[in-house]
Amino acid sequence: MDATGTLELLCADAWRAVTEEKLGDWRLRAAGGFTGRANSALAVGDPGMPVEEALARVCDFAHAHGIPPVVHAVEGSETEQAVEAAGWVPNTGHAAGHLVSVLLGPLGRGADGVEFLPGPSPDWWELTAGAREPSPAQRHVLTTGEIGYGVAEVTAGAVRAAITGDLLHISRLAVRPEHRRRGLAKALMAASGAWAAERGATQCVLQVAVDNAPALALYEALGFREHHRYRYWVPACEDRSL
């Protein structure tokens, strides 16, 4: 497994689907439709069979779990080229963005006004998942692993911080509209870095859609740089709504 594949697997460990099956090095994942990452086949490494046969297995798994077949492949990789050659197409209908930048950057050093909760509060759920009472799939994906539930100023902002290997994996960073442009996102990032350093992390990783210009600008200002990109693919004849 190359460095990019290893990084993809670490990120996957920080974002666990409800159901996962191994297909060689590939991971087949389903979580009731909650997020593309948790409902796609992570196609890194060797699936242990020809790619076309592996893609048929991806379709069987997806249909068995009531989700559209989707492959998550590193942009420009041999695997992605094989997926395209098999007749799959970019999942441009994916609402959150089908092309994603994976960024690496330094850990923040702490900030005032941010605390880490022992568990997710209703306000944390509302801001990060859109509902004060999450679905079973949301609860599983967002709470599985060594997780920190960061909040700023009584949940004016919130973040999910996960430890994966020696990395801090940041996701669900959100600030309420009426509290934006006050530095809360930077404070949440800085506090997450200090929290993660205490748990052995040495670096931070993020996954951001390439068309999310405000987020990319924030992370660039914090010293993050792109490591690679990945893209979602679907069979040409399938529903692309996931």
pTM: 0.94
Q: With a cut of 60, say whether residue 240 has pLDDT above it.
A: no
Give the per-residue pLDDT at 1: 82
Q: Which of 62, 52, 54 is nearest to 87 (CA)?
A: 52
Q: With a cut of 70, say whether residue 19 has pLDDT above it.
A: yes
- What is the average per-residue pLDDT within 93-104? 95
Name the maximum alpha-carbon separation found in the chain.
Answer: 53
Give the per-residue pLDDT at 167: 98
Q: Could you report the per-residue pLDDT of 115-125, keeping only the tens digit for each?
A: 999 999 999 99
30/19 Cα distance (integer angstroms): 5
Give the per-residue pLDDT at 242: 41
Q: With a cut of 90, say whether residue 237 has pLDDT above it.
A: no
CB distance 229 to 75 below 8 Å: yes
Give the per-residue pLDDT at 154: 82
Which position has the higher pLDDT, 18 or 242?
Answer: 18
Query: What's the count of helices (H) and strands (E) in the chain, helices before strands?
Result: 7, 12
Q: Could you report the per-residue pLDDT of 28-62, keeping only the tens digit for each?
A: 999 999 999 999 999 999 999 999 999 999 999 99
Q: Could you report the per-residue pLDDT of 166-196, keeping only the tens digit for each?
A: 999 999 999 999 999 899 999 999 999 999 9
Residue 241 banded pLDDT, cuts 50, 70, 90: very low
CB distance 73 to 233 below 8 Å: yes
Give the per-residue pLDDT at 238: 56
Could you tell me which residues come within 8 angstroms of residue 40 by beta carbon, excluding any fewer than 6 positions away? 29, 70, 71, 72, 232, 242
Tokens 């009472």: give the residue: 133
